[in-house]
Structure 1
Amino acid sequence: MIFHVLTLFPEMVIQGLSPSVIGRAWEKKVISLDAVDIRDYTTDRHRKVDDYPYGGGAGMLMQAQPVYDAHRAVTGGKKIRTIYVTPQGTPFTQAKAQELAAEDELVFLCGHYEGIDERVLEEIVTDYISIGDYVLTGGELPAMVMIDAIARLIPGVLGNDFSAEEESFYNDLLEYPQYSRPEEWHGKKVPQVLLSGNHQKVTQWRLEQARQRTAERRPDLYEKYQEKQLLIRKLARHKRNNIHLVESLTRGCAEVLYSDIMLAGHSAEEHTAAEIYSAEGKRIAAESVLLYDRSCKTCMALAADMASGEAIAERLPADTELIIVSEPYLKELLKQRGYKVLGSYIQVLYTRKEALPVKHREICRLTMEHYPYVCRWYCNDGKCGPGIDDAYVRERIQAGAMYGAFIEGSQVGFVGIHSEGSLGMLFVEESFRGQGIASSLEAYAVNRMLEKGWTPYGHISAGNTASVKLQEKLGFYRAEKNYWWLEKTLANSTLIC
């Protein structure tokens, strides 16, 4: 990720972001920071970039041409998402940070004085974003706030793989209370459960504390959390068929764009009810849902009937690149709207909580050192699945989501976890097949998913009987439905989900 900051005070940005985790990520070249002085692009010999506003008024205004020239120098004419930090913009949230973290480059434009000439904003700005309803002397501090929030979501920036998943606002809950040594301070003791060594009890305690804290401090956020939990419970009644939806919600990856339950408009107290009914007294069974994962521009849809399918199709985000559906009529409806079927798939899931045995011992997480090997076998020999390319493989490795099998130090295969959450990318060189390496690779990945509290699931190409047999051998169950992946190719866009 490259962050470009157009500013009158580049040293302020550099000094503000250099220390701590973000600075270390910059030093390691995990991210890049480019602070550009707008004054370098003025034609005024005194490096002046401001002038009086037409129509009068207090203060000065930044001129259009220096800003435009600085932007052109940074982008080279490419279309790069450009953010103008302004109190007039949409509020910056964790969801927005996750969305922006999926970009390869971002440009932040920092205003000063009374702002910037409207004409250049109209030409170069794609997003107007605010960090709050107050006014600062310049845009540098808001830009640094956003860069910090975005950068820490990029694979490799945080040392702990779980860090970004355990903090405030993850999955619509505030973070649970944290404690360190000593065990007792000012008469206050660390909760006994945290000293027990029982990881399951610790996890449950933290979840309850996060719920309680969110309900007390952010009732608006807790309402959203309750709505999502209700939807998860309803979908989980048909877990084999809906596991991809359930996991996307429980892992905090997806936002709900459409749901028959949420359309019913029930209060928070009613969300705990065993059954939910519409105003007409009809039981609602969560049979129509549209989820969207902004990080990989993937939609997952479930439609009870054609009318619901039409409603879902109308709500698909414009930048959607992959859609996963299980109803034939929804598939046909999307085909009529320009989407192309990539393939038919069988869904499998592993519902047990105990780890699988891993017989092959030489398995570890892959690093960029192994990137050429994976690309050689998976992307350059016609074996890539839909939406897989070299860039996608790089992203998955950097995310710590790929594992490799080795024999005497030489790699012979790999497996991965896709960006939308499914298990896949399984490969073993032909000369090493029949030795149980594929089973061990998949078991290893399953165990990593179980450690995170996930339910492992995958999509297998229809007709791949060997893979289906492998899943059944490992204890996976098959869904009752068939699934289709559809894509709509966007201009200047490469599908990498």
Structure 2
Amino acid sequence: MISRYEKMSQTAAVKAKEYLSRDALSHIDMLEAIDRGRADILYAERGGVILIERESQSCMISVDEISICEALPSLGSFPQYAAHQRDVAAYIARERTFPYSLTVRQAAYLKKEPPCVSEADIRPLTDEFTETVFLNYEAMDDPAYIRELISRGQMWGIFKDGLLAGFIGEHLEGSMGLLEVLPEHRGRGYGYALESFLIGRTLARGSIPFCQVVTGNRPSLALQKKLGMAISKGKTYWLFN
């Protein structure tokens, strides 16, 4: 028997997906949080959706009117926010001080089969590679986060002659990321191979592979297009500690 709470959750999910599907690509992060069963929905009506992605404790917001945010005082208590409107990001930033922010576009792989790629030696990373990942991924200044992803089996490396040549990870909120090829191994298609691998792994478990491309990052954008990823027109504004 389905409980009243479960019925309410299902109803909220239907309402949320109805709103988010108006621009599914720009909201792929929120839609996947719901479809993967990792979303606690705080608000879901015609005017917007606010949810918490449970694994990362990210508050994800997309609303037509800022007054919806103002009516929910609990929005000030999360370590990071993904706002899908610029004015929402500005509102959150006024309420709290965040040392870091990123503006990104969503990218999603909407095909049924992963990209074709030559066979490569790709395997899960172990804790011994934490420092190497940390030292080679300039956008990350938190080795504890890398260590957590590795411990959860959410980071993989590509190896050449037994040596690590590059790596990729799945962020806590479900997006693909942390893609880096070590300098001496660049130009050999390893970035393409790594992301193709993770796309295939994500498809195999019945989810849509997605990532977030920082605006202005032309090499990353070019790679996503080469892989066949669809790129959103709408932007997402991340605020985090």
User: Aligned partners of 2:111, 2:3: CA distance in 1, in Å?
Assistant: 35
Please name the residue that 2:9 is paired with.
Answer: 224
- Which residue of structure 2 aligns with residue 393 of structure 1? 146
1:452 and 1:237 map into 2 onto residues whose CA distance is 25
Which amino acid in the other structure matches residue 224 of structure 1? Answer: S
Offset of residue 236 of structure 1: 2.4
The match for 2:28 among 233, 243, 266 is: 243
Maintained 8 Å contact 1:360/1:436:
no
Q: Tell me whether 1:331 sits opposite 2:97 in the alignment.
A: no
**Cα distance between partner residues in 2 of 1:251 and 1:448:** 14
Tell me the distance in 2 between the aligned counterparts of 1:351 and 1:412.
Answer: 28
Q: CA deviation at 1:338?
A: 2.2
Taking the aligned partners of 1:326 and 1:224, their CA distance within structure 2 comes to: 22
Q: 2:129 corresponds to which residue?
A: 370
- Contact 2:52-2:58 at 8 Å conserved across structures: yes
Q: Distance in 2 between matches of 1:463 and 1:352?
A: 25
**1-structure distance, mates of 2:200, 2:114:** 5
CA distance in 1, matches of 2:20, 2:206: 18
Cα deviation digits, residues 157-205 of structure 1 (max 9, x gap): xxxxxxxxxxxxxxxxxxxxxxxxxxxxxxxxxxxxxxxxxxxxxxxxx
Alpha-carbon distance between aligned partners in 2 of 1:468 and 1:482, rounded to the nearest angstrom? 14
Q: Report deviation, 1:336.
A: 1.6
Asked whether the 8 Å contact 1:254–1:292 carries over to 2, the reply is: yes
Residue 420 of structure 1, CA deviation: 0.8
Which string of whole-angstrom CA distances, capped at 9 and with x for unpartnered residues, describes residues 207-253 of structure 1? xxxxxxxxx35354244224313422442232111111101111122
Q: How far apart are 1:473 and its partner, in Å? A: 0.6
Query: What CA distance in whole angstroms lies between the structure 2 residues aligned with 1:310 and 1:297?
Result: 20
Matched residue type, 1:393: I
Is this contact kept in 2: 1:256–1:291, CA < 8 A?
A: yes
| Partner Cα separation in structure 2 for residue 324 and residue 484 of structure 1 | 6
Question: 2:53 aligns to what?
Answer: 293
Paired residues of 2:16 and 2:48 also in contact (CA < 8 A): no
- Structure 2: which amino acid aligns with 1:412? A
The answer to whether the aligner puts 1:480 opposite 2:240 as a matched pair is no
C-alpha deviation, 1:408, in angstroms: 0.8
Give the Cα separation in 2 of the matches to 1:400 and 1:233.
33
Deviation at 1:421, TM superposition (A): 0.9
**What's the offset of the Cα at 1:460?**
1.3
The one-letter code matched in structure 2 to 1:231 is: A
Q: For residue 124 of structure 1, what is the aligned residue in structure 2?
A: none
1:343 corresponds to 2:98: no
Instruction: Report the CA distance between 1:452 and its aligned residue.
Output: 1.3
- 1:23-45 CA deviation, whole Å, 9 max, x = no partner? xxxxxxxxxxxxxxxxxxxxxxx
Partner of 2:62: 302
Alignment map for 1:60-75 (pairs within 5 Å): none
Matched positions, count: 240
Q: Does 2:112 correspond to 1:357? A: no
- Paired letter, 2:14: Q
Give the TM-score of the pair, scaled to structure 2. 0.92
User: Residues 460-479 of structure 1, C-alpha deviation per residue, up to 9 Å, x if partnerless?
Assistant: 11110010000001011111
Q: Which amino acid aligns with 1:296?
A: S
Structure 1 pair 218/308, CA: closer, same or farther in 2 (3 Å)? closer
> Which protein is bigger by CA-based radius of gyration?
1
What residue number does 1:447 align with? 200
- Counterpart-to-counterpart distance in 2, 1:403 and 1:418: 12
CA distance in 1, matches of 2:190, 2:119: 6
- List runs of 5+ in structure 2 lacking aligned partners: none
Contact 1:349-1:458 at 8 Å conserved across structures: yes
Q: Secondary structure at the match of 1:316?
A: helix
Higher relative contact order (CA 8 A, sep 6+): 2
What code does the residue aligned with 1:304 have?
D
Q: Please give the secondary structure, in 1, of the residue aligned with 2:27.
A: helix
Paired residue secondary structure (2:24) = helix
> Any idea what the Cα deviations from partners look like across 1:396-437, whole Å, max 9, x if unmatched?
011111110110110011000100111100000112111110
Higher strand share goes to which structure?
2
Say if 1:423 and 1:456, in contact at 8 Å, map to a contact too: yes
Q: Is the 8 A contact 2:175 2:211 kept in 1?
A: yes
Tell me: CA distance 1:311–1:359, structure 2 relative to 1, closer, same or farther (3 Å).
farther
User: How far did 1:309 drift?
Assistant: 3.4
Q: Match of 1:228, as an amino acid?
A: A
1:435 equivalent among 188, 191, 215: 188
How many angstroms does 1:394 deviate by?
A: 0.8
Distance 1:316 1:406 in 2: 43
Matched, 1:415 2:168: yes
Q: Give the structure 2 partner of residue 403 of structure 1.
A: 156
CA–CA separation in structure 2 for the residues paired with 1:307 and 1:370: 46
Distance 1:469 1:225 in 2: 38
Q: Distance in 1 between matches of 2:5 and 2:94?
A: 39
How far residue 370 of structure 1 moved from its aligned partner, in angstroms, is: 2.5
